[in-house]
Structure 1
Amino acid sequence: MHQVELNAAFREKKGKEANKKLKANGTVPAILYGGEKDNISLTINAKELAKVITDGGNAIISMTLTDNMQETVVLKNWQLHPYNGTILHADFYRISLEDSIVAKVPVEIVGVASGQKTGGVLDISLREITIRALPLQVPDKFEINITHLEVGDIIHVKDIQIGEGIEVLSDTEQVVVTLTVPVVEIVASEPAEPEIVKKKKSGK
């Protein structure tokens, strides 16, 4: 996990009207919880939060509150507007660097499979792998090089280089990537209708 800094402010007013004002000011409502402490309602700068999400979301965040209180947190969840994609709300969870956490690490496919050049179709079945590790040992992503794959080859979770100190919680037999044979749809042609030839009547 990479480390980033993020500023936050205490949020006193709640409800739809308060959230509209936050949006107008370029901020997002959020909640901080966990660590056997009280939950805290916060506001976060929308652009700063968007950068954390764009960079992958898996980060150890050093959060500074308005009273200079420091919290070590991770971004646990966020909600996006269904139409315009703006951030509606975010959940932050307190962590300790000495205690293991559960995290979902994204899978990144690297390269072009050899079998794709001969018509193979790449099927990505798994986008994230769930692990347990100390925060500083959680990787930002798992890179999977597929350049050697031929048609029919499969990569399972167990085939990925995970690293020491990391416990895989996902099913290790789960398929991550498959290079399959392209499916060719055969459309049966309809039989041609017989041509009807009318005989001319002979004149009298």
Structure 2
Amino acid sequence: MSKESYELKAETRERVGKGSSRELRRNGLIPAVIYGDKQAPVSIAISTNEVTKRVQAGGFMTTIATIDVDGKKYQVLPKDYQRDPVRDFMVHVDFLRVSAKSLVTVEIPVHFINEDKSGIKKGGVLNIVRHTVEAQVPANDIPEFITVDLDGVNVGDSIHISNVKLPKNVAPVIADRDFTIATIVPPTVPVAEDAAEEEAASE
């Protein structure tokens, strides 16, 4: 299951634009917007510190939140956020209104288990093709991650989405092909080591 829901306090943002956004950031706030559900967007300002902590804790994009805007509460799912490319601080967040009946599209992280029971134990290397799987899922039932069991997977084998036991109500967005999640490939030997072995053999 997804992480436990949480609540953020926010205030209505009366003014928009670069000047207003810069002023908010100087005051420790991030400009944000709540949209969707066939309602007008709501421009808000939320605590930079609180949002940054939620992002750093993980699961931010797959956890339902409640935003209290001047006493009015919205159930939302974070859909996007931007960081300053130079100084790496949060600059904006987009939230999507959701309800218990909402179907949302999210990127669900992939976790691997039983590596010691796979070809990795014999020297194989896990080549992860997809670190996340884009899926449609009910907003109130987003899994924290998808588990891929490597038990019995040998060197040279590929793990496709059809090999993965997906959580209930999770439907991959890619439905027209059996895409690859990961492979176990033979160990690679650095070229420098190959050359050294050849040189030693010729002596």
Distance 1:51 1:124 in 2: 28
Task: Tell me the TM-score normalised to structure 2 length.
Answer: 0.82
Offset, 1:159: 1.4
Distance 2:151 2:9 in 1: 42
Q: Which residue of 2 aligns with 1:9?
A: 11
Q: Is the 8 A contact 1:7 1:44 kept in 2?
A: yes
- Asked whether 1:81 is paired with 2:84, we answer yes
Q: Which residue of 1 aligns with 2:141?
A: 137
- 1:132-156 CA deviation, whole Å, 9 max, x = no partner? 2221222111122335432112211
Counterpart selection for 2:122 from 103, 118, 121: 118
Amino acid at match of 2:85: P
Distance 2:95 2:66 in 1: 11
Task: Tell me the TM-score normalised to structure 1 length.
Answer: 0.82
Counterpart selection for 1:183 from 184, 188, 194: 188
3-state secondary structure, aligned to 2:153: coil
CA root-mean-square deviation: 2.3
Amino acid at match of 1:70: K
Q: Is the 8 A contact 1:123 1:180 kept in 2?
A: yes
3-state secondary structure, aligned to 1:149: coil
Counterpart selection for 1:174 from 138, 154, 179: 179
**Larger Rg, first or second structure (1 or 2):** 1
Distance 1:110 1:44 in 2: 38
Unmatched 5+ stretches in structure 1: 191-204
Q: Is the 8 A contact 2:99 2:140 kept in 1?
A: no
Offset, 1:34: 0.7
Offset, 1:128: 1.4
Q: Is the 8 A contact 1:129 1:170 kept in 2?
A: no
Amino acid at match of 2:184: L
Amino acid at match of 1:178: T
Distance 2:53 2:166 in 1: 26
Offset, 1:32: 0.9
- 1:135-187 CA deviation, whole Å, 9 max, x = no partner? 12221111223354321122111211113333222345111111101334455
Distance 1:99 1:18 in 2: 33
Amino acid at match of 1:80: R
Identity percentage over the alignment? 26
Unmatched 5+ stretches in structure 2: none
Between Structure 1 and Structure 2, the one with more helix by share is 2
Q: Which residue of 2 aligns with 1:100?
A: 103
Instruction: Count matched residues.
Output: 189
3-state secondary structure, aligned to 1:165: coil
